[in-house]
Amino acid sequence: MPKLFHLVCSPRAESESLAGARVFLAHFQKARPDWDIDEMNLWRDRLPEFDGEILQAKYARIGGRGFTDAQRDAFAVAERMAVRFSLAERVLISTPMWNFGIPYKLKHWIDLISQPGLTFRFDPTRGYLPLVEDRPTLVILASGSDFVTGMNRGRTDMASPYLREALRFVGVRDVRFVLIGPTTGPGEPIQAARESAHRRLAELAAWF
Ligand SMILES: Cc1cc2nc3c(=O)[nH]c(=O)nc-3n(C[C@H](O)[C@H](O)[C@H](O)COP(=O)(O)O)c2cc1C
């Protein structure tokens, strides 16, 4: 069964990014009823700290050394997470903007799955090479300010360029962003931004 992997990155029950994802998925599932939706909620699933044996395993790989038993066991957790992502034909990431970037849980997940021999490799002559096959990927990014029209009072969106680069590094280049914002402030612009994003997400879902 083909699979869409959905990474939920907001802890909020009233999350705008998750509400956008629900609109997208409702239309997606109508168009492809046979697809499996694999949802990983970064605030419910336990992510291991990236220290100790798992960290040493990464450095062992980089240094071309074999794993100890403890490193192999620790690395297996990252392996399972990377495989869950890399086996999906489609990827959906619904995330808030936090302090101009991404929430730390999403950065934590990226730190766990970005591993040599798993999602990228290093070749002394060719440099870093991605190991994940490209696949259509959608990022729904909700922000308190309006980063859609540029009315963000001079602040910079560092979440989109960071995510684009982190995904590209492991091989995923086919990435689209749908921004939802403003999500705070006066009601009318919030409603207009939500409606516009939901329209775009419904359109996208029909062919994504
Ligand atoms: C810790 C934190 C940091 C935030 N930083 C920003 C920010 O830098 N820029 C912005 O526009 N909104 C910021 N916001 C507002 C959120 O982006 C906004 O509430 C958004 O709707 C959150 O996504 P969600 O509704 O999916 O949870 C921040 C919110 C929190 C809780």
Domain boundaries, the chain: 3-207
Token pair of 136 as six digits? 């259509």
pLDDT in tens, the chain (208 residues): 999 999 999 999 999 999 999 999 999 999 999 999 999 999 999 999 999 999 999 999 999 999 999 999 999 999 999 999 999 999 999 999 999 999 999 999 999 999 999 999 999 899 999 999 999 999 999 999 999 887 677 788 999 999 999 999 999 999 999 999 999 999 999 999 999 999 999 999 999 9
36-41/127-130 β-pairing: unpaired
Q: SS3 for 68?
A: coil
For ligand 1, the distance from its centroid to the CA atom of residue 94, given in whole angstroms, is 13
Q: What pLDDT score does 151 carry?
A: 67
| CA 135 – CA 180 distance, rounded (Å) | 23
| CA 46 – CA 80 distance, rounded (Å) | 13
Q: What pLDDT score does 154 carry?
A: 74
Task: List ligand 1's pocket residues with C-beta within 6 A.
Answer: 10, 12, 15-18, 96-100, 142-145, 183-184
Token pair of 26 as six digits? 């409702």
Token pair of 134 as six digits? 């490209």
| CATH code for residues 3-207 | 3.40.50.360
Closest-lying ligand 1 atom to the alpha carbon of residue 10: 27
For ligand 1, the distance from its centroid to the CA atom of residue 46, given in whole angstroms, is 23
Q: What pLDDT score does 197 carry?
A: 98
For ligand 1, the distance from its centroid to the CA atom of residue 108, given in whole angstroms, is 18
Report the nearest-CA residue for atom 24 of ligand 1: 15
The continuous run of DSSP H or E covering 121 comes out as strand 120-123
For ligand 1, the distance from its centroid to the CA atom of residue 66, given in whole angstroms, is 42
pTM of the model as a whole: 0.97
Q: SS3 for 46?
A: coil
Closest-lying ligand 1 atom to the alpha carbon of residue 97: 17
| CA 163 – CA 9 distance, rounded (Å) | 13
